[in-house]
Amino acid sequence: MVRVRFAPSPTGYLHVGGARTALFNWLYARKLGGQFLLRIEDTDKARSSDDSTRAIFDGLIWLGLQWDEDVVFQGANVQRHARDAAALLESGAAYRCFCTAAELDGRRAEAEAKQETFRYDRRCDRLEAADVASRTAAGLPHTIRFRVPEGTTTWNDIVHGDISFPNKDLDDLVILRSDGTPIYNLAVVSDDIAMRITHVLRGEDHISNTPKQILLYRALGGALPRFAHFPNVLGTDGKKLSKRHGATAVGDYEHLGILPDAMCNFLALLGWSPGGDREVMSPAEMIEAFSEDGLLAKASVFDIKKLEWMNGQHLQRIPLEALAARVAVAIEAAGFSSVTDLNARPEWTALLVDLLRIRSRTVDDIVRQSQPYFGTSVAYDEQATAKQWKDAALSRTLLAGARAALATLEPWDATAVEPALRILAEAHGVGAGKLFQPLRVALTGVAESPGIFDVLLLLGRDRSIARIDAALSHPRLAP
Ligand code: GLU
């Protein structure tokens, strides 16, 4: 039974790299019918916050990465961590270290001055047993250090293949602080054993922790999981993605009008390929296509342009009703209309969203373009009026003609609107485009919109007539 976990530290928002790690764990579990667990690594109380924990939950829920079982809070397990450290002491795999932080700092500075790598010299491991016993009995503060055995530590990484570390390069690591709190590597291994984790899938920055953790697994008698380390996510400048590159919080993309399925699809392709040139996939399609073989070892680039393109693809693919519901909320937030009003005319709303999504990459694009279809007036775009109403006399004549034709047109639908406008253009000896473009600007204020007949239907007769009147009294069209 596959059991994987996402183990963020709640010290900020859910960032893009973390979300990708969560997604790969989720895909792995869903593909193999396993469990995807969530562990909040909150042992560092000073840096952890409830707000961050909430932001992580919200981000995962928004992305649709529902975890199985109850959330594990690492901080609740510190007694087990201490018990595991005591067991290692007992078995002789660890020893008490009485060196103080100040002493260690001094020795580190000395080594650095000689341009040497500082390594703990194991002096406390050489203390006589009686000495250790009396210092301990006297209550002298001490940490617990894990004694790194001789040899080489190797694992077969799912992403990178065999990775080896000579143990002599690993310092005897502190596993329990003098105040009895665990150090990261011990807490992680202790929890992963307790949670029966079978695969540890995480970012490449943890590669150097893995040999230490493998040694701890062995010393604690835990079954070794398999490991995968995903390569870094880079910005378009080739540097590791960070706040310098702009929005790195998943929540920011939600507010930019990115769809969760598009975000997941985009994140999945940062380090995974289903093969061929296949790119646009729903979560279900990704689960279907997911395999270890598709995981890539080379770093990938976070390109916001690609995310927007991806979002545009998903905007076309998601069921209209679901998209319309999202857009309605965003339209209300923009202050153009209310969800109640939009829900009261579902067909109109669906048509509006369907027509606008074709030329949109984000929900925000749709909202922006929806503005002309609400409110009593529109703002006339300078460039659009200058270009499309250039010949003021002709524009005036055509718009007045359109007004007259539309005012009495029956029925108000596509079958009647189209021939009426085409006849009008012909009567004035101009091509249809010569009428449609000035009319489009009159109706919407801008030069780009859905087809003119659709625009008229969306606006309705009264609003269309009012817009043409507004255009006719615009300074540029003044006689
Ligand atoms: N808490 C660690 C982090 O946020 C992850 C630990 C792990 O995945 O093993 O980087």
| pLDDT of residue 246 exceeding 90 | no
The last residue of one of the domains, among 297, 317, 337, is: 317
Distances (CA, A) of 394 to 9, 123, 403, 439, 448: 67, 96, 14, 12, 21
The residue assigned the tokens 């270890």 is 292
- Is the beta carbon of 59 within 6 A of some atom in ligand 1? no
Say if residue 312 is in the same domain as residue 328. no
64 domain-assigned: no
Say if residue 180 is in the same domain as residue 90. yes
The last residue of one of the domains, among 166, 196, 230, is: 230
Say if residue 87 is in the same domain as residue 217. yes
Say if residue 90 is in the same domain as residue 223. yes
Distance 209 CA to ligand 1 centre (A): 10
Q: Which two tokens stand for residue 400?
A: 């007045």
247 domain-assigned: no
Any idea what the CATH number is for the domain that residue 283 is in?
1.10.1160.10
Distance 75 CA to ligand 1 centre (A): 14
Say if residue 265 is in the same domain as residue 341. no
- Is the beta carbon of 188 within 6 A of some atom in ligand 1? yes
User: Residue 375 pairs with which residues in a beta bridge?
Assistant: none
33 domain-assigned: no
| Other beta carbons less than 10 A from residue 191's beta carbon | 23
Say if residue 211 is in the same domain as residue 194. yes
How much is the mean pLDDT over the chain? 96
pLDDT at 104: 96
Query: Span 265-287, mean pLDDT?
Result: 96
Any idea what the CATH number is for the domain that residue 406 is in?
1.10.10.350
Q: Which of 23, 31, 25, 19 has its CA nearest to residue 5?
A: 25
> Alpha-carbon distance 453 to 391, whole Å?
23
Say if residue 96 is in the same domain as residue 224. yes
Say if residue 124 is in the same domain as residue 214. yes
298 domain-assigned: yes
Strands 94-97 and 143-146: antiparallel
Phi, psi angle pair for 269, to nearest 5°: -80, -5
Any idea what the CATH number is for the domain that residue 174 is in?
3.40.50.620
70 domain-assigned: no
**Strand ranges, E, within 78-134:** 94-97
- Is the beta carbon of 8 within 6 A of some atom in ligand 1? yes
pLDDT by residue (tens digit) across 91-134?
999 999 999 999 999 999 999 999 999 999 999 999 999 999 99
Number of the ligand 1 atom closest to the C-alpha atom of 11: 4
How many domains is the chain built from?
A: 4
Distance 202 CA to ligand 1 centre (A): 7
Query: Span 275-291, mean pLDDT?
Result: 96
| pLDDT of residue 52 exceeding 90 | yes
Say if residue 323 is in the same domain as residue 360. yes
270 domain-assigned: yes
214 domain-assigned: yes
Can you say whether the dihedral through the CA atoms of 333, 336, 341, 345 is positive or negative? Answer: negative
The last residue of one of the domains, among 340, 374, 408, is: 374
Say if residue 115 is in the same domain as residue 164. yes
Say if residue 213 is in the same domain as residue 89. yes
pLDDT at 409: 94
Say if residue 221 is in the same domain as residue 288. no
Q: Which two tokens stand for residue 281?
A: 């996939």
pTM higher than 0.85: yes
What is the domain extent for residue 338? 319-374
